[in-house]
Amino acid sequence: MSWRLLLDSPADGATNMAIDTAILEAVAAGDAPPTLRLYGWAPPCLSIGALQSVERTLFAPGLPGRDWVRRPTGGRALLHDRELTYAVVAREDDPFVVGGIGPAYRRIAAALAAGLTQISVAGLAVAPTGRRTPRPSGPACYDTASPYELTAGGRKLVGSAQVRRSGALLQHGSIPLSLDRRALAERLAVADREALVAALTREATALDEVLQPPPTWQALCAAIVDAFRAVVGALTPAALTPGERERVAALTAFYRSEGWNYRR
C-alpha cells in the first residue's frame, strides 16, 4: 500500500497530538493509508509521557495544551522548540513495522539514520551501544538514550515513543536542530537544575552541535522523506481526510482539557 506524506506547518501542542491521534484512529480503522507526518511546534511546548505525574514532572505547568501537553505515548518530558518532529503511523501488519515493538523501532531508527547520514551527520549509532545504561528516575527524556534511539558521537540525538491501539501503531519523536537544556531544566520539578543541565550536556546533543553549518528545517525534512521513501516505496504527499479533520477538532479539545493533562 502506498504511504501518505503529511508536511505540516507548526502547531500548538494540543493540535499536534490531536492530529497524530486522529491519524492513528483512521489508519487502525482502515480509513487512511500508512502515514509519515513531519511537523513543528508553535509556540514552544513541553510534552510529558502518558504515564508521568504532573506533580513530579513539572515545576511551572502553565496552560495545558499550549505551554505543555500530555502525549498519548510513553517516555519522559521534553521541550519542543527548534526541531523536526516525525510521526509514523501504520497497521501492525504493515511490512515496514511488522514483527513487534523492537523490530518496528529498529526499522524506523534505521530510516531516520539514513536521512541524517544523507545530510552528513557522523558517528550515528542505535542505542544501546555495547552496554545498557540503566534508565534514571528523573523526568527529562534527553538525559539518556533508550534502546533503538539514535545517538551521535555517543550522545542522544533522536528521542522517540510509541503507542499501539486497535492493531495500529503511532511512533513519534524529536530531531532537535538545537537544544536549550536550561529552558527544559527550568520547566521541570527537579531538586538540582544545574545537575540536570550538566547531565543533558553530557548525554544529549542536537544537529547544531554535530554539524556545521547545521541543516535548515527544510533540508532535514527533505532528507528524512528521501530515506523513508527508499524503504516504504511510494510516499505520496497528501492531506488529512475529511474524517480525520473532524476528529482533530474534537481531539484538540481533549488534549487541552485538564481531565487528560492532569490525569496523573
Catalytically active residues are 141
Give CA–CA dist 142/78, Å, rounded: 7
At residue 79's C-alpha, the angle toward residues 117 and 17, to 5°, is 90
Grid coordinates of 204 = 544529549
Which stretches of 91-210 are DSSP H helices?
A: 101-118, 181-187, 193-203, 207-210
In a 10 Å sphere around its CB, with 0-12 CB exposed, 13-18 middle and 19+ buried, how is residue 242 labelled? exposed
SS3 158: strand
Lay out the sheet containing 235-237: strands in order across: 124-126, 150-152, 155-165, 168-176, 83-91, 35-39, 3-7, 235-237
Q: How many residues are listed for the chain in this entry?
A: 264
C-alpha distances in angstroms, 128 versus 50, 147, 150, 217?
Answer: 23, 5, 9, 27
Only one residue has cell 558521537, namely 153
DSSP string across 51-69: T--HHHHBSS--SBTTTEE
